[in-house]
Amino acid sequence: MSNRYVQSFKILDKKELCPNTYWYEIEAPFIARKIEAGQFIIMKPFKKSERIPLSICGWDREKGTLHIIVMSAGKTTRDLNEMQVGDCLSDIVGPLGQRSHIDKYHDACVLIGGGYGTGAVIPTARDLKALGNRVIGIVGARNKDLLLMVDELKEVCDEVYLTTNDGSIGIEGFVTHALEKILEKEDISYVLAVGPVPMMMAVTKLTEPKGINTWVSLNAIMVDGTGMCGTCRVTVGGETKFACFHGPDFDGHKVDFDELMKRQKMYVEVEKKALEAVGK
Ligand SMILES: Cc1cc2nc3c(=O)[nH]c(=O)nc-3n(C[C@H](O)[C@H](O)[C@H](O)COP(=O)(O)OP(=O)(O)OC[C@H]3O[C@@H](n4cnc5c(N)ncnc54)[C@H](O)[C@@H]3O)c2cc1C
Ligand code: FES
């Protein structure tokens, strides 16, 4: 008989945050014991699924569980979002990547989240607060119904700004409008932005002239997640890095965002076919 310990990766809880986006609590005791802010997992809902990288928005070390947010983007995220409490995921590997690069800073820290990125910044916000920093959160979405994890972010921040493109709540416009307002009022030592690439790029454009230490979490396409396959290759400061191993957080002022966006679109045709096949 094999003495290999098999984890079940059972879904213990599931909540709809907004259409097509769900929060999950998943049993994964070995990963929950080790994971740190900024790291991620790679998982497969079913044995034959594609491997997909997901950030961690929280964990319970004693209970042995991980908290993730999954936004339906294509076949695999859709498959996952159809799973229910009591179902078991096929595989999870992690923790992967490096933990967030944080310290005790002189001035305030600003954590910016868009979409699932709001969940991803929560563990880093908590760690910054524990180090004695003043922590400000910014959450952006197209409208108020799409804002995620606001209450959870408020629990670990001194202040949270909301922005919506249509002005249905908070500041009308983008997360950068909130960041501009904060910059008018106080000095900032550290910024972390996690979300769509154009959002992270816009944040770095705003902070670069002021020389603010700015980190972005790069959502490059990944396969193995351990620095072996090269799929997640990014250019940072003119050097080739692997987002899965050296990142996912990088100095935003040094990232070649144009290359990242081009590489993210590498498999668009195949992804379309995969979705069409599901529809049949
Ligand atoms: C470090 C990291 C953390 C992430 N965290 C989250 C998270 O917490 N929640 C969440 O919902 N999503 C997260 N993502 C994005 C998620 O991995 C993709 O949405 C998912 O892989 C799409 O797979 P799919 O089959 O559903 O869609 P597909 O149809 O395969 O792809 C849809 C789009 O997702 C992107 N994508 C596709 N495959 C990958 C891949 N293997 N790796 C990265 N991006 C890919 C591409 O830009 C593609 O155009 C994260 C990505 C990275 C790299
Ligand atoms: S995913 Fe293979 S090297 Fe990063």
pLDDT tens by residue, 90-140: 999 999 999 999 999 999 999 999 989 999 999 999 999 999 999 999 999
* Burial of 153 (C-beta count, 10 Å sphere; 0-12/13-18/19+): buried
- Asked if 60 and 148 sit in the same domain, the reply is no
* For the CA of 268, the nearest ligand: 1
Asked if the structure places residue 150 within a domain, the reply is: yes
Number of structural domains found in the chain: 3
Tell which wins on pLDDT, 9 or 7: 9
What pLDDT is recorded for position 179? 98
- Asked if 56 and 104 sit in the same domain, the reply is no
Asked if the structure places residue 192 within a domain, the reply is: yes
**Domain end marker among 214, 237, 259:** 214
CATH of the domain at 108: 3.40.50.80
* DSSP three-state, residue 248: coil
- Read off the pLDDT band of 269 (50, 70, 90): confident
What pLDDT is recorded for position 4? 62
Residue 244 CA, closest ligand 2 atom number: 4
Ligand 2 center to residue 25 CA distance, Å? 26
Asked if the structure places residue 2 within a domain, the reply is: no
- Asked if 115 and 169 sit in the same domain, the reply is yes
**Domain end marker among 191, 214, 237:** 214
- Asked if 162 and 185 sit in the same domain, the reply is yes
**Does pTM top 0.75 for this prediction?**
yes
What pLDDT is recorded for position 9? 95
Of 3-12, 87-96, 117-126, 253-262, least confident by mean pLDDT is: 3-12
Work out the angle between the directed axes of helices 197-207 and 175-185 (0-180°, nearest 10): 20
DSSP readout, 176-230? HHHHHHHHHHS-EEEEEEES-HHHHHHHHHHHGGGT-EEEEE-----SSSSSSS-
Domain boundaries, position 189: 100-214
Ligand 1 atom 19 nearest Cα:
73
- Asked if 76 and 55 sit in the same domain, the reply is yes
**Domain end marker among 58, 75, 96:** 96
Asked if the structure places residue 1 within a domain, the reply is: no
- Read off the pLDDT band of 13 (50, 70, 90): very high
